Structure 1
């Protein structure tokens, strides 16, 4: 019985370590996506139907389960703009979206940040397409520095 308890405790510890590593990895990924999209300019407002440093559309935000700041009403007209122009809420939006549509876009057998970046930029149905060279270069440079 004691051996089982130790095994369960060890398993929980390993699971926690993997969860922390995964969160750190996705945080680095989100930082690099933000850099590639707008140089992570937090002063970017809304323009031509996209908002904030991640350049998020309203449909994207809706698909990401309408994250909000604090007690905002997710059904109010302001919540989309408030969230997507706030770095923390925008990160949550992108995390929700790429997790929801997670897939291997480049066919290398691994779902990684490059796939998430393509899903973010091109959408899940077009993520097998080629991304702009500048976006790709900034993303890959950032990831290699992480």
Structure 2
């Protein structure tokens, strides 16, 4: 019984496999475009970092992905990840896999839902955002 408890605790605190990705690369890119025009030169300001404008609580909820062999608990690991395109994409995918929700109530979980989760959080994603944001997502997703 003790071994099962250790396995369950260890499994809870480790990063899940993202082999069954929920959000497409195209959708992540569309969120990036809508959030910052995917400006890869953005650093950190006002509590958000990188082109996806990831916050530290978002990154923590995404299981603290890191760049290379970085220590997820080291000072600056969050910022280094959020400004790195590959790591930030991994954080986005982990977060969406964890919190996938049908935000707009249409019975499907699609890119617009992920965009709403990104902007409003998983528990408030049925709220409203500015139409320029949702229009940018829809235009991007519908582009070839």
2:50 is matched with 52
Of 83, 87, 90 in structure 2, the residue corresponding to residue 92 of structure 1 is 90
- State the 1:99 CA deviation: 1.1
Q: Matches of 1:106 and 1:113 in 2, distance apart?
A: 11
1:28 is matched with 26
1:62 is matched with 60
- State the 1:25 CA deviation: 6.5
Secondary structure in 1 aligned to 2:24? helix
Q: Which ranges of structure 1 fall in alignment gaps of 5 or more residues?
A: 1-19
Q: What TM-score do you get using the length of structure 2 for normalisation?
A: 0.83
Q: Which ranges of structure 2 fall in alignment gaps of 5 or more residues?
A: 1-18
Structure 1 ranges of 4+ moved more than 4 A = 22-25
How large is the RMSD of aligned CA atoms in angstroms?
A: 1.7
Secondary structure in 1 aligned to 2:127? coil
- State the 1:24 CA deviation: 10
Cα pair distance change 1:58/1:139, threshold 3 Å: same
- State the 1:46 CA deviation: 0.2
Larger helix fraction of residues: 1
Secondary structure in 1 aligned to 2:51? coil
- State the 1:28 CA deviation: 0.6
Pair member with larger Rg: 1
- Answer yes or no: is 1:37 the counterpart of 2:40: no
1:112 is matched with 110
